[in-house]
């Protein structure tokens, strides 16, 4: 009977939050490369249409980048270019929310559903706008520390704790800055109503066409073709000539223009609506890439990577030879007559070949090379670190 050997490389202890993260909204549409991050300390990543938004997420738009967000209670928020917003929202019931959006910079138009027991507020560094069922626009100028409110329908309570609040009605506006002593309001006309909110749809989209389908072996690059399409009728956009950004959703997935130089993010030239690039993964786990460009709807493509039988055999031989060459007789006797079930890099964006090569070239040193028995399996743990020069 052939026994099974299971390898794990490095050790990782995962800590999970004691509190569930709430989904409160979704991206209904976007134009350009919208960025989103899970919290204030995380890295911004490209977003896609349909992406779920959780309490505590931050959203950022650059030049000529817009999006529309639909909350679970039906509230529609459209976010202007050059804006950074934090989504603070929690569920009261299945379709009722307590929402307090924070605008660090920029502008947002909101059409708020009737709230019932819920609430909706927009906060900036200088003011708070509170509503129950209203269409309004709030913008914050970071340089002047000034918040401007425009109410299209309904009414909004507007102010802050230091100067008090006023009730602003339909077709009225108000502005509060750091120097405001008392809130005031003024009449607005149809010319003052934001026009940008009616033009946030993308002109183009992407078709991502990999030359492999289904599960894809790790460490083997595959070509992926890219076709830009017109969003209105899904026809090829052969007049599209500009740069697109491709970003991998996981740090172990790499992309390349030439199947030679690899990175997690690259700018790709698209000419006459077409281009191509390469993808590979160094881990046998699911992953994705996101493609975005100016005036386009970002597109996400998911992949499932696995380790082939021949790759498993090669890894088994490499680990066995490493144990022999480094004098780990206990590892050799434990795994010599066993078959590898799986191997996995727990920490670090690398592969087994690179690890062994760096050990043999004296760039890495082994800090732990041991095993433990688990029923009819043996778990090998290999830990390495860069050698001190």
pLDDT over 90, % of the chain: 65
Q: Band the pLDDT of 16: cuts 50, 70, 90.
A: very low
In a 3-state reduction of DSSP, which class is residue 196?
A: helix
> Taking the domain 204-306, which CATH number applies?
2.60.40.10
Residue 127 has pLDDT above 90, yes or no: yes
Return the number of other C-beta atoms located less than 10 Å from residue 130's C-beta.
18
Q: List the structure tokens of 96.
A: 């009722």
Dihedral sign (CA 100, 135, 138, 299)? positive
Identify which of 140, 130, 149 has the alpha carbon closest to the alpha carbon of residue 178.
Answer: 140
Residue 57 has pLDDT above 60, yes or no: yes
Report the distance separating Cα 197 and Cα 201, nearest Å.
9
Contact 359, 384 (CB under 8 A): yes
Domain extent listing, the chain: 3-13+308-386, 32-198, 204-306
Q: Band the pLDDT of 17: cuts 50, 70, 90.
A: very low
Residue 134 has pLDDT above 70, yes or no: yes
- Partners of 84 in the beta sheet? 60, 105
Residue 379: the pLDDT is 81
Q: Pick one of 2.60.120.1440, 3.40.50.720, 2.40.40.20, 2.60.40.420 as the CATH number of 32-198.
A: 2.60.120.1440
Identify the helix (H) or strand (E) that includes residue 354: helix 352-360
Identify which of 139, 171, 174 has the alpha carbon closest to the alpha carbon of residue 154.
Answer: 171
User: Regarding beta strands 119-123 and 128-131, do their DSSP bridges make them parallel or antiparallel, or are they unpaired?
Assistant: antiparallel
CATH topology identical between 32-198 and 204-306: no
Beta strands of 235-363 (E only): which ranges? 242-248, 253-256, 265-270, 274-281, 286-293, 299-306, 338-342
Q: Band the pLDDT of 19: cuts 50, 70, 90.
A: very low
Contact 362, 327 (CB under 8 A): no
Task: Using the CB atoms, write b or e for 157-192: b if 16+ within 10 Å.
Answer: ebbbeeeebbebeeebbbbbeeebeebebeebeeee
Q: What is the mean pLDDT of residues 14-19?
A: 36
Task: Using the CB atoms, write b or e for 80-92: b if 16+ within 10 Å.
Answer: bbebbbbbbbebe
Contact 100, 41 (CB under 8 A): no
Residue 318: the pLDDT is 83
User: Regarding beta strands 274-281 and 128-131, do their DSSP bridges make them parallel or antiparallel, or are they unpaired?
Assistant: unpaired
Residue 360: the pLDDT is 82
Q: What is the mean pLDDT of residues 22-31?
A: 94
Q: Band the pLDDT of 300: cuts 50, 70, 90.
A: very high
């Amino acid at each position: 009977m052939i026994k099974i050997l299971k390898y794990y490389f490095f050790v990782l202890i995962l800590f999970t939050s004691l509190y569930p993260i709430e989904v409160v909204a979704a991206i209904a549409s976007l134009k350009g490369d919208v960025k989103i991050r899970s919290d204030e300390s995380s890295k911004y990543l490209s977003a896609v249409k349909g992406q779920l938004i959780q309490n505590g997420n931050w959203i950022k738009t650059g030049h000529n980048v817009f999006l529309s967000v639909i909350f679970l209670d039906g509230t529609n928020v459209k976010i202007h270019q050059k804006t950074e917003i934090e989504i603070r929202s929690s569920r009261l019931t299945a379709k009722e929310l307590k929402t307090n959006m924070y605008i660090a910079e920029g502008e947002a138009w909101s059409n708020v559903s009737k709230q019932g027991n819920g609430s909706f507020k927009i906060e900036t560094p200088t003011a708070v706008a509170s509503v129950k069922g209203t269409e309004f626009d709030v913008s914050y100028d970071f340089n002047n520390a000034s918040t401007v409110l425009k109410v299209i329908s309904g009414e909004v309570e507007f102010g802050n704790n230091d100067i008090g609040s006023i009730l602003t009605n339909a077709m009225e506006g108000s502005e509060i800055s750091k120097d405001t002593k008392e809130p005031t309001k003024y009449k607005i006309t149809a010319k003052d109503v934001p026009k940008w909110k009616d033009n946030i749809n993308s002109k183009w989209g992407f078709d991502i066409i990999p030359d492999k389908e289904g599960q894809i072996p790790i460490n083997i690059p595959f070509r992926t073709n890219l076709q830009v399409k017109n969003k209105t009728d899904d026809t090829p956009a052969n007049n599209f000539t500009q740069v697109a950004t491709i970003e991998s959703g996981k740090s172990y997935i790499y992309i390349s223009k030439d199947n030679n130089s690899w990175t997690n993010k690259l700018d790709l030239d698209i000419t006459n609506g077409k281009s191509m690039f390469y993808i590979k993964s160094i881990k046998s786990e699911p992953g994705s890439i996101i493609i975005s460009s100016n005036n386009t709807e970002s597109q996400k493509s998911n992949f499932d990577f696995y380790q082939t039988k021949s790759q498993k055999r090669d890894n088994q031989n490499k680990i066995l030879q490493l144990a022999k060459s480094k004098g780990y007789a206990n590892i050799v006797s434990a795994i010599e007559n066993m078959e590898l079930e799986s191997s996995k890099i727990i920490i670090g964006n690398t592969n087994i070949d690179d690890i062994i090569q760096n050990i043999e070239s004296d760039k890495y040193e082994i800090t732990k090379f041991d095993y433990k028995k688990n029923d009819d399996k043996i778990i090998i743990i290999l830990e390495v670190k860069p050698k001190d020069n």
